[in-house]
Amino acid sequence: MHSATPADPPPGRRLLRLILMALLPAFALLALALLALTYYSSSRIMEQSLHGQFRQAESRLQTNLDAYLNRIYTLLSATAEHAGLADMLEGSDQAGAEAVLQAVLEKPDGEHLDILMLVHQGQPWLDLNSPYYDLARHRLQLLMAAGQDREWSLLQLEPSLSLLLHSYPLIDDDTGRVEGHLLGGMVLDDNLSLLNQLGQGLEQFSFRLLHQDRLLGPAPAGPSPAPEVLDSMLSRQRLPGQLQGYHFDTRPLRLNEQAGTLQALMMTDNQANRQLRLSYWYHGLLALILVLAAAVLLALYTLRLIATPLGRLTDFAERVGQGLPARFRTGRIEEFNFLGQSLEKMVAALHRRERELANLFNSGNSLTIMLDSHNRIQAINPAATRLFKQPAANLAGTPLAEHFSPWQLAPLENAISRVRQGHSLGGVEASLTQGGKEQRHQIWTLAPVYEQESLVAVLAQGQDITPLKQAEASLQLNDLVLKNIMEAVLIFDHRLRLVYANHAFTTISGHQIAEMLGSKPAAALQLQGSNQQLMAIWQTLRSVGYWRGEASGLRRNGASYPLWLSVTRLNTGADKPHYVAVFSDISTLKETQYQLQKMAHYDPLTGLANRSLFAELFRQAHSRAERHGASLAMMFIDLDRFKQINDSLGHQVGDEFLQMAARRLQRHSRKEDILCRFGGDEFILLITNTLSLQQARATAQRIVDAFAKPVLIRGQSLYISISIGVAFYPQHGTSMETLMQHADTALYQAKEKGRNQVQLFESGMNIRAVNLMKISGELHQALEKNQMELHYQPQFRLSDGKLIGVEALVRWNKPGAGLIYPGDFIPLAEQTGMILPLGQWILTTACRQLQRWLADGLGPLRMAINLSARQFRQPGLAQDIARLLGELKLDPRSIELEITESMLMEEMEMAVATMTSLNRLGVKLAIDDFGTGYSSLAYLKRFPIHRLKIDKSFIKDLARQAEDRAIVGSIITLAHSMKIAVIAEGIEDEYQLQQLSRQACDEGQGYLLARPMPVAEIEQLLRQDFHHPALGS
């Protein structure tokens, strides 16, 4: 520290000068404040005195106005009550009335009247108004004022013409009737005498009358402000006011004891007030000078008295502040000596405390950071530097945000903001992590740091709680797992007392956790079994350390349930092991196993054995029969026409019928026999220990006879028969496959022979099956080698004989055998399955032929094509036909598909859907062989049918059978009523043709008209636009 020079005085002297400079303004301000307070108080007193003077002046002015108006009122009322004035008015004596009024004007108060007139019946009767004013054009306003008797009224006739009027009625003494009115008044704008009389006794004030903020009349005698000052006064919004030495205010004047629009602007210059104010200013200035002089003298004395000891103190404080060694030198003033020595001791104590805090700061395990007002690091201890992974020297002065991401700092920054408001916060969690993948967690306590009562920094102390967080997360996860797992978890202490159970324990057993805590394993687990079994479990647990297995437990409601139990011993030390029991309810698993086994071996609808179980049971029965030389009878059982029940009554009724059939079969079979539902409406019955074929046949026949009785389902009696095919072991085969094949062959024969019967297998049946396979192969080759061909039978319109369509009919041109007709190979094709490729070939060939004819101009023409039952039931039939017609670019309306009635009735819902799809496509639909099946109005209404083909069996006997003629006529009438066309097939003689034409049949075909012919022959007719000569004549 450098020595003081005259140019650089010591700190003590500088302090005294500062004190002096601070005291002088302080004393000056104090003097000014006292002066202002005195001035304000005196001003308030003077203002209140002035307001009192204004009120006295106002009262005086109102008194003068009232006295003046009372005199005028007395004069007017005395005149109006003159004994002869009313009579003069009634007698129209204007001369006499004028003399009376003239006398009034000559009186001392009458000379002030500028308005004096008599009004009679609403009109001016006598007018003695002042000639100085043009009042004639304001007569109407004057007459209106005459109606306001005994009241003063103020009228503004013109901007510079304001009247104060009074009206008094003239009453006839005899009649009491008002004969007229006496109207008198003054002009206020030019009435100096009125103003002088009003100003009597107002020597200190001047005034001007106001009406609607406008000055009335001239200024009265005496001093008065200039006109521009008056205008400024009137423009002021806030009153009272002061302007250019004048105090002014407006006061209302009352007329008729009521405040009206007449006001007085009152003014006074109040010279005494101004002189008083000047006196205050002079005295105040003198007081201010005296106070400042006293302050200077006091400061100089203080400077002389305490300069030296204060300099020692400041020198000591300056050296301490600079961190230099310092000792206080005592002087003559004891108080300063005491203060300096006390400061010396306090500095020594602070140095010791500082060293202690520094040791604590640097050696503590807590993370300690000091942040300045801009969140920059002021100080940091070694423990906290590990968080930054940098030395303290590199961190000093750097912002905290430079080292961590915003999301890491967010909770800490929010807390720092609150601490800077003066709060202390604890328990602030943050995740400050510098580099590395492992996230660290801290908990911080933050407090403000003050210096001279100003918050200068924030102290943050933290603890690394990463291990605690990891342990907490692990505990939470474990607790979550225990709470949500499906298995019940029980923990027993070393005394085998229950200390923990999860929620699954309550869910499974029904026992509440609270009521079971402290119970023994037997009470908690509620295991069923003998004491020996339970003891065996615990013995195994003690010796091996764990036990697991299936057990049976009791729920709280007493119900038993299977459970899978696992018990483990946990060695926790001090020879006090704990035990954990984990168990799950396996009731669902057990039930599922049972159901799976049942589903795997039993038919779900009937409860009978399925194919899998039947195969196993057959192997067992076959093994026994083989060992004991016994016989077996295998029966294939099929429900005849079950499909019709399913389609007509619905699948639910069909299922109930199958269940009933299974029960009947069970009643007519023995317990040792094996009954199986093979699939659909087929069953297999294996008769064990059969003595002979006759015995097996008799058993089968009893079963057939049992189905002769009707079945009552949902209130309906249903009749159905069964067919049974029987194969015998060992005569007809020794393996299950062979016996099943032979029993199925026998069943097919039973159906072929008319159903509702029993058929034993015979070796010749195999020969027929072989023939069917041979024919199937030949048909396959016929399609591959183009041995099939189509002939076309013309169809004619009976009304004019025109050839309108053809029916495509297939022929097999078999080498060595010639042409084979459909009746000889179509049934075999249906049995062997070749009907599908054959039907597709017919459909494609016929459409291609029609496309060639139409391309050659041989049209329009309709192509009728027969569909087989299996072809009609094929999924995607409509899509296949649409694709074919699209490829050939054929109009779908030129194709007509013929379907038999039996095909429609077998699967009605499917038939409706297929026919609807074909109809949407545009293809025409016809019912072939109509009348031979289920002909009914019901299905005709359901199906989108365009044509009915009457079967030739009805056409053949038209000449001999009247019944057939009636049937044909009914069919035609029915079809026409439903707008369905009719074609008859098999027309072979003239009578049939005539009869059909007579009954209005639309179309026909048959040998009489034209036989089926190959392409070349039919093309000749088409080119001729052929009309049959037997028709249309």
- Averaged in consecutive runs of 10 residues, what is the pLDDT profile of the chain (1033 residues)? 47 61 70 71 73 83 85 85 78 84 84 85 82 79 74 81 85 80 85 78 79 76 72 71 77 77 79 65 71 71 69 73 73 72 76 69 76 85 80 82 80 86 84 72 87 84 81 75 82 89 88 88 80 77 85 87 89 79 86 78 89 90 89 91 76 88 90 90 89 84 89 82 91 89 87 85 69 72 87 94 94 84 79 84 95 92 92 88 94 93 73 89 89 57 86 83 84 90 92 91 94 93 88 68
**Which amino acid is it at 507?**
T
Report how far residue 714's alpha carbon sits from residue 656's, in angstroms, rounded to the nearest whole number.
9
- Structural contact between residues 1023 and 796, judged by C-beta atoms closer than 8 angstroms: no
The pTM of this model reads 0.37
Residue 833: the pLDDT is: 76
Residue 907: the pLDDT is: 67
Report how far residue 511's alpha carbon sits from residue 484's, in angstroms, rounded to the nearest whole number.
17
Going along the chain from its start, the domains and CATH numbers come out as: 47-271 (3.30.450.220), 365-469 (3.30.450.20), 485-591 (3.30.450.20), 602-762 (3.30.70.270), 773-1023 (3.20.20.450)
Rounded to whole angstroms, what are the CA distances from 2 to 314, 323, 828, 853, 946? Answer: 14, 15, 136, 133, 130
SS3 content of the chain, % helix, strand, coil (to 5): 50, 25, 25
**Which amino acid is it at 764?**
G
CB-based burial label for 303 (10 Å; 0-12, 13-18, 19+): middle
DSSP annotation of 3: P
Residue 1: the pLDDT is: 41
Structure tokens at 615: 């195969």
Rounded to whole angstroms, what are the CA distances from 346 to 342, 343, 353, 463, 508? Answer: 6, 5, 10, 34, 75
Q: Over the range 471-501, which residues count as b (16 or more CB within 10 Å of their CB) and which as e?
A: eeeeeeeeeeebeeeebbbbbbeeeeebeeb
Residue 1002: the pLDDT is: 95
Structure tokens at 201: 């006794």
Report how far residue 301's alpha carbon sits from residue 737's, in angstroms, rounded to the nearest whole number.
140
Report how far residue 367's alpha carbon sits from residue 164's, in angstroms, rounded to the nearest whole number.
97
Residue 172: the pLDDT is: 79
CB neighbours (10 Å) of residue 773? 11
CB neighbours (10 Å) of residue 279? 11
- 482 forms beta bridges with none
Report how far residue 522's alpha carbon sits from residue 90's, in angstroms, rounded to the nearest whole number.
137
Q: Is 184 helix (H, G, I), strand (E, B) or coil?
A: strand
Rounded to whole angstroms, what are the CA distances from 32 to 276, 284, 294, 574? Answer: 18, 8, 15, 90
**CA-based nearest residue to 97, from 182, 174, 175:** 182
Report how far residue 440's alpha carbon sits from residue 433's, in angstroms, rounded to the nearest whole number.
5
**Which amino acid is it at 782?**
A
Residue 6: the pLDDT is: 44
Structure tokens at 169: 């009625």
CB-based burial label for 638 (10 Å; 0-12, 13-18, 19+): buried
- Structural contact between residues 925 and 953, judged by C-beta atoms closer than 8 angstroms: no
Q: Over the range 896-911, which residues count as b (16 or more CB within 10 Å of their CB) and which as e?
A: bbbbbbebbbbbbeeb
